[in-house]
């Protein structure tokens, strides 16, 4: 009698193969669907710049370019206008303070000097005539006062004698009264002449004081005119080098016109421009270094100019120690300006990607080096070589640092 064999329940070996095949198909389909939803861009790996993110010391500095300039520049403006009659010193020459560089001619100024001299001479003559007049009146007044005093004294004595004789009834009353009236009249005349003399003296002092003041002012004015005449000689305002001179013989120069400058070469400074991105971090007394022929020369930031033009602002730096032996005005140098202390940080090499992303994201290369995926990052400080990474990357990550303009809106880069 045949025995019925029952089928075994549960998974058989062959079932595991089917399951594995199904899972593989499902994963592949998922990958295809996911990949289809991401915009990709294919590019040859050799055409890209790929760098590795590292951990290390971040030096907080920027490299700027500056030009050598004299420590002080003194501009020369014409005090007086005129025609250039002589040019005694050429550009680039060394000058001493007071050296005559140019000579000017000004006929109008010469006429003003002659007119001032004539007015001064007239005023001096007026003063002398007035003094003579007052001196004559003073002498005449004193003579009249002396005569009045003598007459008063004589009539007083006659009156006193007649008064005694009249008391003794030796003269008539008419003779007595006549002598009295003559004495009183002489007294009044004396007082009038004395008052007039005193008034004349006061008037003389006041008038002469005013005339002396007028004369002094005219002499001062004439002195100023002579000084203007001296200003026709354009002199060096300080020791130094004549930087430029915008004047030729026969040229007409206007008063106040800039005609040259003196470079004071007792020391030098570096004039540099910095991107406005750093304007909040650049402050007075920051240190800097100028490298020349393998030697470092220390600098100090002396002045920050407030104006921003074309996205840049100006600064002046001065040497705090030795300076290059061959330094010359106009030379260009690269300077390392220290903005802060060094610190440990995640370092991302600089590249053209920043112009495309603004440092907000970057393409990170996968472990198989066959693709790069867009990733958001956050960047802090930067120097001439690195960006300081605050978020989004870690040491060992490989990133594309070349420019991204050709990638469009792609979120994945397939590396061939």
What 3 state SS string does 168-200 have?
Answer: CCCCCHHHHHHHHHHHHHHHHHHHHHHHHHHHH
Residue 160 has pLDDT above 50, yes or no: yes
* Residue 55, beta-bridge partner list: 346
What pLDDT shows up at residue 188? Answer: 92
Q: In 3D, which of 346, 337, 342 has the Cα closest to residue 386?
A: 346
Q: What is the dihedral of CA 123, 128, 132, 135, to 10 degrees?
A: 100
Query: Whole-angstrom Cα distance, residue 29 to residue 149?
Result: 146
Residue 299 has pLDDT above 80, yes or no: yes
Number of Cβ within a 10 Å radius of residue 274: 21
- Sequence-distant (6+) residues with CB within 8 A of 63 are 334, 335, 336, 337, 383, 384
- pLDDT band at 74; cut points 50, 70, 90: confident
Which of the residue ranges 4-13, 54-63, 221-230, 337-346 would you say has the lowest mean pLDDT? 4-13
The architecture CATH gives domain 74-104+234-253: Beta Barrel (2.40)
CB burial of 74-101 (b: ≥16 within 10 Å; e: otherwise) equals eebebbbbbebeebebeeeeebeeebeb
What pLDDT shows up at residue 23? Answer: 62
What pLDDT shows up at residue 272? Answer: 92
Mean pLDDT on 193-206:
84
What pLDDT shows up at residue 268? Answer: 87
Taken in order 159, 162, 163, 164, the sign of the CA dihedral is: positive
Query: Whole-angstrom Cα distance, residue 225 to residue 215?
Result: 15
Query: Whole-angstrom Cα distance, residue 373 to residue 284?
Result: 43
What pLDDT shows up at residue 32? Answer: 45
Mean pLDDT on 149-172:
89
Q: What is the dihedral of CA 393, 395, 400, 401, to 10 degrees?
A: 90
- What tokens appear for 53 in the block? 């993110």
Rounded to the nearest integer, the mean pLDDT of the chain is: 83
What pLDDT shows up at residue 301? Answer: 92
Q: What is the CATH number of domain 39-59+343-415?
A: 2.40.420.20
What separation in angstroms does the CA of 8 have from each of 2, 15, 19? 19, 13, 19
Residue 104 has pLDDT above 80, yes or no: yes
Residue 315 has pLDDT above 90, yes or no: yes
What pLDDT shows up at residue 30? Answer: 45
Q: What is the pLDDT of residues 358-402, one digit of tens each?
A: 889 999 998 888 898 999 999 888 877 888 899 989 898 999 999
- What tokens appear for 267 in the block? 């020391």
Q: What is the DSSP annotation of 63-77?
A: EEEEEEEEEEEEEEE
Query: Whole-angstrom Cα distance, residue 245 to residue 100?
Result: 13
What pLDDT shows up at residue 364? Answer: 92
What pLDDT shows up at residue 361? Answer: 92
Contacts 24+ apart (CB under 8 A), 45-49: 45/369, 45/415, 45/416, 48/400, 48/402, 48/415, 49/351, 49/352, 49/400, 49/401, 49/402
- Counting residues of the chain whose pLDDT is more than 90, the rounded percentage is 11
Which of the residue ranges 9-23, 37-51, 83-97, 241-255 would you say has the lowest mean pLDDT? 9-23
- What tokens appear for 226 in the block? 């002579």
SS3 for 309? strand
Residue 111 has pLDDT above 90, yes or no: no
- pLDDT band at 71; cut points 50, 70, 90: confident
What pLDDT shows up at residue 1? Answer: 44
- Name the phi and psi angles at 100, rounded to 5: -80, 125
What pLDDT shows up at residue 13? Answer: 57
Residue 316 has pLDDT above 90, yes or no: yes
Q: What is the CATH number of domain 61-69+265-338?
A: 2.40.30.170
Query: Whole-angstrom Cα distance, residue 274 to residue 317?
Result: 12
Residue 29 has pLDDT above 80, yes or no: no
Number of Cβ within a 10 Å radius of residue 353: 24
DSSP H or E stretch at residue 375: strand 371-376
What pLDDT shows up at residue 19? Answer: 65
Residue 169 has pLDDT above 80, yes or no: yes
Q: Is the separation of the CB atoms in 299 and 283 below 8 Å?
A: no
Sketch the domain layout of the chain as residue ranges: 39-59+343-415, 61-69+265-338, 74-104+234-253, 108-230
- pLDDT band at 217; cut points 50, 70, 90: confident
Mean pLDDT on 25-42:
58
What pLDDT shows up at residue 127? Answer: 75
């Amino acid at each position: 009698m045949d025995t019925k064999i029952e089928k075994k329940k549960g998974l058989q070996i062959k079932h595991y193969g089917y399951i594995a095949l199904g899972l593989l198909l499902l994963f592949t389909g998922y990958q295809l669907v996911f990949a289809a939803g991401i915009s990709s861009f294919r590019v040859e790996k050799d055409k890209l710049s790929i760098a590795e993110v590292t951990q290390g010391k971040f030096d907080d500095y920027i490299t700027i370019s500056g030009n050598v300039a004299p420590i002080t520049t003194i501009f020369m403006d014409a005090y007086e206008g005129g025609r250039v009659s002589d040019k005694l010193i050429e550009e680039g020459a060394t000058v001493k303070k007071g050296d005559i560089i140019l000579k000017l001619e000004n006929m109008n100024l010469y006429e003003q000097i002659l007119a001032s001299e004539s007015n001064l001479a007239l005023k001096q003559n007026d003063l002398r005539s007035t003094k003579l007049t007052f001196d004559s009146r003073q002498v005449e007044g004193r003579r009249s006062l002396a005569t009045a005093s003598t007459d008063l004294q004589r009539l007083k004595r006659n009156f006193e004698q007649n008064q005694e004789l009249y008391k003794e009834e030796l003269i008539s009353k008419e003779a007595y009264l006549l002598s009295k009236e003559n004495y009183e009249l002489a007294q009044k005349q004396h007082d009038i002449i004395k008052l007039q003399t005193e008034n004349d003296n006061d008037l003389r002092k006041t008038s002469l004081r005013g005339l002396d003041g007028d004369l002094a002012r005219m002499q001062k004015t004439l002195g100023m005119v002579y000084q203007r005449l001296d200003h026709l000689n354009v002199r060096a305002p300080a020791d130094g080098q004549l930087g430029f001179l915008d004047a030729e013989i026969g040229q007409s120069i206007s008063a106040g016109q800039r005609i040259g400058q003196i470079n004071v070469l007792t020391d030098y400074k570096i004039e540099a421009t910095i991107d406005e991105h750093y304007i909040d971090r650049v402050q007075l007394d920051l240190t800097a270094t100028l490298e020349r022929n393998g030697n470092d020369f220390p600098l100090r930031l002396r002045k920050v100019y407030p104006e921003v033009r074309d996205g840049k602002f100006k600064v002046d730096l001065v040497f705090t120690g030795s300076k290059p032996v061959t330094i010359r005005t106009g030379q260009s140098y690269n300077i390392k300006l220290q903005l802060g202390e060094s610190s440990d940080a995640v370092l991302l090499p600089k590249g053209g990607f920043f112009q495309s992303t603004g440092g907000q994201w970057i393409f990170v290369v996968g472990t198989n080096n066959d693709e790069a995926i867009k990733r958001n990052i956050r960047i802090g400080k930067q120097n001439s070589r690195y960006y300081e990474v605050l978020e989004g990357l870690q040491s060992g990550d490989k990133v594309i640092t070349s420019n991204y303009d050709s990638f469009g809106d792609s979120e994945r880069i397939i590396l061939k």
